[in-house]
Structure 1
Amino acid sequence: MHHLLKEIRHNPLLWMLVFVPIVLAVEAAAPSAHTALFVLAVLAIVPLAALLSHATESVAEKTGDAVGGLLNATLGNLTELIIAIAALHAGEYMLVKASIAGAIVTNSLFMLGASFLLGGLRHHVQEYNRAGGRMYAALLLMATIALLAPSAVADLDPARGEAMALALSTGLAVLLICAYGLGLLFSLKTHKELFASEEHGETGGAGWPIGLALGTLLVVTVLVALVSEIFVSSVQKAGETLGLSPAFVGFIIVALVGAAAEMAVAFSAARKNRLDMSVSIALGSASQIALFVAPALVLLSYVVGPKPMDLQFWPGAVTMVMIASVTSCFITNSGRSAWFIGALLVLIYAIFAMTLYMVPPGSHGPV
């Protein structure tokens, strides 16, 4: 605990942790103050992301970048899962699908691209183990193909399309979870030597004890989940006040805030020339959302939702996810990166964001 208090005392960014109890108190006292809750939630997530970054780096020093990145991506995606379960319970299936698609695109384009860009501005050329990146990109591509199937089946027989898409989605959910498990077995057990980290990064000095780091990870992840729930509950109304469309809010803003904790770790690792960890977090998180979070939500919808949810996304979302998946496969083929590659990925993401931003605020079609 001494290490944690010392870090908070000497890091001005962590002084913003005061916003965590403030946003929880405001949510309890004035739940209808959506714009205020939106701003406070963003201010609260920033220091939580920084604290999570330090704790995850401490764990990575003991376990290695690949396992450390996997751990961070898993805990980071717990936030999206908790938010999505709450939305499922409320029957907000379009919000769930928008957040899933947005998280995949945000992680595989913006987080990966910004990591390449920030790392490349400090290091001329960076190298990473391409085996991990290629595996995550291949899993993501397979999951994207699975997202295309329900829409194709629904179009074949409009009369029975909804029932057929739901039955197919349930079967695909089981297959995707099996593929995710096989990927973990392959990378962490049978062929783990292929995914060893490149030993050329900065270690950043002594980290926290492993017990403190793991405890901090768990507590901060729960706090991020609580604050993110408040953010999502207020962001729709706040978006209307600020003139943002539901498509932009669900696909861009919710995804960016939900991944803030993971981004803090990925960007910090890239600046320290630990690109293996950045790639593992970005593409590992995207593939986990596609292969585990999305199918798990389909199965959970039978229990917590008013009716089962399928994997039939609107065409624009599937197109963006497919482009992001193919681009990730192409980019990670070399195992080397420079700042210009990252800039291109960020620009592709900016094109998607600009397109969704132009959707009229009163339009609910895309989501």
Structure 2
Amino acid sequence: MKRILRNLSQERPILAVIVTLAIFNIAPGAFLHPATAVWALLPFIWLFAVMIWGASAVVRHAEALADRLGEPYGTLILTLSVVVIEVALIGSVMLSGNGGPTLARDTMFAVLMIVLNGLVGLSLLLGALRHGEQSYNFAGASAFLTVLVPLAVFGLALPAYTISSPDDSFSTGQALFFSVVTLALYGVFLSIQTVRHRGFFTEAEEPPLPAPHGYPRYATWAHGFLLLATLLPIVLLSKMMAGFVDHGINAMSLPSALGGVVIATIVLASEGMSAVRAALANRLQRAVNLCLGAALSTIGLTVPAVLLIDVTTGQHVVLGLGAQMQVMLALTLIVCVQTFGTRRTNVLHGAVHLVLFLAYIMLVLEP
């Protein structure tokens, strides 16, 4: 009994996330319409703190799974868990009719910019400051980018140039074709990552991550269950957080696209924390698997899902980016190919990616 109580006390983040989700579901309107500006800020701070605390528990269980299962399965579980739940949320919003035609596009692009520039830049910079040059498995990074570049262009750039539909979207035939192609190519990549060439995504010389002191170790299935039990409420809370963010953005007359960036950042917090921690522990390959895997999974799963909704329900979807963001997408992909084509990374690579991320934020604030 004492052991059970001790273990429960170590899982306080999960309990906090679930209790917070229950409270905000019972009386959501009471928090969205406060009497004063101060009372409007308190629920936002509460949600933000609980979600970040919960993300730390997600990272702990994901790292335990990575130690048990080995790479790339550990990072793949965390990445797919986040992305699948995020895709389900996007789909539910679209089917309810509350999301605009650019919801999926803006969400996917925000995730790509945060992951490929923000998280990659921060991981490379902090890792290089502590360890100097860091190495990774070139074959694995090359495999990620070989699939990511065409899928990103298919999903976010090409629709802006098709002439079979009146706006930046695919026709029905194009939507079906690119859905099948995207899923097929992503499926081939997963088979490469997990079966045929698993060694591409591991680094034999990487030291193990230090285990957090004072935390219990469970069976493998228990870590997986606790990871999902924490992650799902966090992503559901992000939908509630969106209400507070939108309210604050409207009150301060900020661009509406900034709300998507804030929410995507919070949803990706668990992967970001895990990637940075791995880079600081000189396990750059794990950070690469997390960052590039999140970007590829977002495109590989979201594009087919939203196009299927478009074709089957008539819910219009606009995927083509505007001219400014097409430039940012092209520049990001080119820099990623350059960064992960050198076999070793240093401070300069991280700094360049962070500058690109800041440029993206600047364009969101002032298009």
In the superposition, the TM-score normalised over structure 2's length comes to 0.86
Q: Please name the residue that 1:80 is paired with.
A: 86
1:5-154 → structure 2 map (5 Å cutoff): 6=6, 9=9, 18=16, 20-22=18-20, 24-31=22-29, 33-34=31-32, 35-36=40-41, 37-89=43-95, 90=97, 91-146=99-154, 147-154=156-163
Amino acid at match of 1:223: P
Is structure 2 residue 227 aligned with structure 1 residue 225? no
Kindly report which structure 2 residues correspond to 1:274-353, keeping only aligned pairs within 5 A, or say none.
274-303=283-312, 307-353=315-361
Q: Distance in 1 between matches of 2:104 and 2:244?
A: 15
Cα displacement (A) at 1:347: 1.5
The offset of 1:144, in angstroms, is 2.3
**Greater mean alpha carbon deviation, residues 132-141 or residues 310-319:** 310-319
Are the aligned partners of 1:88 and 1:301 in contact in 2 as well (CA < 8 Å)? no
Residue aligning to 1:173: 179
Equivalent residue for 1:196? 202
- State the SS of the aligned residue for 2:282: coil
1:270-296 superposed Cα distances (whole Å, 9 cap, x missing partner):
111111111101011101111222222
Q: Which of 193, 213, 220 is the matching residue for 1:210? A: 220
Aligned pairs (5 A) from 1:267-278? 267-278=276-287
What are structure 2's unaligned runs of at least 5 residues?
A: 33-39
Amino acid at match of 1:149: L
4+ long deviations beyond 6 Å = 1-5
Aligned partners of 1:308, 1:75: CA distance in 2, in Å? Answer: 27
Identity %: 19
**What's the CA shift for 1:262?**
0.9
Spell out, residue by residue over 1:141-198, the C-alpha distance to the aligned partner (whole angstroms, 9 max, x if none).
11122132222113xx67x567864432332121111110011112222222333323
Give, as a single letter, the amino acid of the residue that structure 1 aligns with 2:133.
Answer: V
Shift of 1:4: 8.9
AA paired with 1:185?
Answer: S
Q: Is the 8 A contact 1:76 1:221 kept in 2?
A: yes
Is 1:354 aligned with 2:362?
Answer: yes
Relative to structure 1, is the Cα distance of residues 168 and 58 closer, same or farther in structure 2, using a 3 angstrom cutoff? same
**Separation of aligned partners in 2, 1:31 and 1:321:** 38
CA 50–116 in structure 1, closer or farther in 2 if over 3 Å, else same: same
8 Å CA contact 2:75, 2:289 repeated in 1: yes
- 1:235 matched to 2:233: no
Hey, what's the Cα distance between the residues in 1 that align with 2:79 and 2:160?
Answer: 29
Report the 3-state secondary structure (helix = DSSP H, G, I; strand = E; otherwise coil) of the residue aligned with 1:198.
coil
Q: What letter corresponds to residue 135 of structure 2 in structure 1?
A: E
Shift of 1:225: 2.0
What is the aligned residue count?
352
Q: Does the 8 Å CA contact 1:55/1:213 hold for their aligned counterparts? A: yes
Residue 337 of structure 1, CA deviation? 1.6
1:134 and 1:333 in contact (8 A); partners too: yes
Are 2:127 and 2:282, in contact at CA under 8 Å, matched by a contact in 1?
Answer: yes
**Using the alignment, how far apart are the partners of 2:287 and 2:196 within structure 1?**
23
User: Shift of the alpha carbon at 1:343?
Assistant: 2.1
**Partner Cα separation in structure 1 for residue 291 and residue 122 of structure 2:** 10
Counterparts of 2:333 and 2:169 in 1: how far apart (Å)? Answer: 28
C-alpha RMSD of matched pairs (Å) = 2.7
- Please tell me whether the aligned partners of residues 133 and 279 of structure 1 are also in contact (alpha carbons under 8 angstroms): yes
CA contact (8 A) 1:180 1:291 kept: yes
Tell me by how many angstroms 1:349 deviates.
0.3
One of 248, 254, 264 as aligned partner of 1:255:
264
Change (3 A) 1:126 1:61: same
AA in 2 matched with 1:31 = G
Distance 2:17 2:179 in 1: 38
How far 1:208 sits from its partner (Å)? 4.0
